[in-house]
Structure 1
Amino acid sequence: MDVPEILEAAGLLVPEKTATENDVTVREVWEYLVADEWETALGLLEEFGDAGPLPLTFWETLGDAAEQLRMERSAAWCHWRCTEIRNGMIRADLTLRPAGEGRRTTPIDGAGVLRPMWDIGHRTATGERSVNIAALWLEEVPFLEPGGRCRVRLVPLVPSSWRQLEPGRRITMHEDRTVAGTAIVLEVRPPAAPSEG
């Protein structure tokens, strides 16, 4: 399929009465598609993901369109959202340690590249700390400097290990044995049931 067909297919997966935070409706997206403003239509369709849960096929379809349009960050975001549906997602408020206090001296890339370890409270049979891995996406900025703070989305590598997390819980990020940052859990979404994906 070409880009307009892909975007039309994605638009059909959004309930007609759904509106984005900025009150954009699916009808307005169709207007951009008719005018061949595909990048704008794609960007607006991405915003519908925050208006309510959309099926896995929606994000897969948008990812295909973004790849054809060579919109790398949008394609990465759509693929990220697919992974959130499959593995669940944790939103948190992350604060990195300052460069002088931690190992990290360079900014973190915000597009889901980093997969740090997280201390979420698990212990080994001998009582030692056990860490879990989750990929990291920055919500508000493309990069996060040491000492910086922003909202993040985490996708667990092993979703069942993260089930006990609840909003308000403090967790720590590690890139080695030292603490790289601390986060307060804001939201926990379990993986979608097979029929929802």
Structure 2
Amino acid sequence: MDDVPKLLEAASLLVPEEIATENDFTVNDVWEYLTQDEWEVAFGLLEELGDVRPLPLGFWETLAAAEGLRLERSAAWCHWRCYETRHGVIRADLTLRPASAARRQTPLAGAGVLKPMWNIGNRTPAGEPSLNIAALWVEFTPFLEPGGRGPVRLAPLDPSPWQYLQPGQEITMHEDRSVAGTAVVLEVQRPSATPTA
């Protein structure tokens, strides 16, 4: 319960009670779930706030306390959002090659564990494709089946080669020399000037 004050501090970014509509989440909503030991629901409400507007790094760092509450996926998501606050957001629509045409025969883990290589259009000095590594988070589902399609988020190990990526650009995913999937960039958000605010 030591994390409750921190969570309520994070919840202070929710809509104030006095101006909330019936569709808004408020600090009291979060508090109610916490008092009923519905930690996962409370975290879910707070995580959804990040989809509505950009939030400061401290918000995501506070929510990363989910590690101590055994909410591993929530903790991983909050760490992912810390990364995005510092380095920017890259979202794409990924289509994996079917199992009959690719090396991958099992579902792709979706919670930022896999760090495949990507051909994003960069070249080596010799003119060969230069592959760049980025962790992969599959949105809205815990995994993506071979041949499946879905929105993903990318977290480059080195963000600088990715700075020229544009929405609509096609990039390819590689787990070895062969193409494992093709993605179309949906969104590129540069990091805010003050990620710690």
TM-score when normalising by structure 1: 0.90
* Shift in Å, 1:43: 1.3
Alignment partner of 1:183 is 2:188:
no
Which residue in the other structure is 1:42 paired with? 43
* Shift in Å, 1:85: 1.3
Alignment partner of 1:132 is 2:138:
no
Does structure 2 conserve the Cα–Cα contact (< 8 Å) formed by 1:89 and 1:189? yes
Post-superposition Cα deviations, 1:101-133, rounded to whole Å, max 9, x if no partner, equal: 111111110000001111010111111111111
Alignment partner of 1:11 is 2:11:
yes
Does structure 2 conserve the Cα–Cα contact (< 8 Å) formed by 1:73 and 1:111? yes
* Shift in Å, 1:33: 3.8
* Shift in Å, 1:40: 1.9
Which residue in the other structure is 1:196 paired with? 195
Say which SS state the counterpart of residue 7 (structure 1) adopts.
Answer: helix
* Shift in Å, 1:3: 2.5
* Shift in Å, 1:196: 2.7
Does structure 1 conserve the Cα–Cα contact (< 8 Å) formed by 2:172 and 2:180? yes
* Shift in Å, 1:140: 2.1
Which residue in the other structure is 2:59 paired with? 58
Aligned letter for 1:44? L
Distance 2:34 2:99 in 1: 46
Does structure 1 conserve the Cα–Cα contact (< 8 Å) formed by 2:137 and 2:152? yes
Does structure 2 conserve the Cα–Cα contact (< 8 Å) formed by 1:89 and 1:156? no
* Shift in Å, 1:178: 0.6
Aligned letter for 2:195? E
Structure 2 gaps, min length 5: none
Post-superposition Cα deviations, 1:41-79, rounded to whole Å, max 9, x if no partner, equal: 111011101000001110110111x12221111111111
TM-score when normalising by structure 2: 0.90
Say which SS state the counterpart of residue 140 (structure 1) adopts.
Answer: coil
Task: Note the 1:113-192 alignment, pairs <5 A.
Answer: 113-192=113-192
Does structure 2 conserve the Cα–Cα contact (< 8 Å) formed by 1:3 and 1:69? no
Cα RMSD (Å) of the superposition? Answer: 2.1
Provide the aligned length of Structure 1 versus Structure 2: 193
Say which SS state the counterpart of residue 121 (structure 1) adopts.
Answer: strand
Say which SS state the counterpart of residue 167 (structure 2) adopts.
Answer: coil
Query: In 2 relative to 1, CA 109–69 (structure 1 residues): closer, same or farther, beyond 3 Å?
Result: same
* Shift in Å, 1:163: 1.1
Aligned letter for 1:169? Q
* Shift in Å, 1:36: 4.8
Say which SS state the counterpart of residue 103 (structure 1) adopts.
Answer: coil
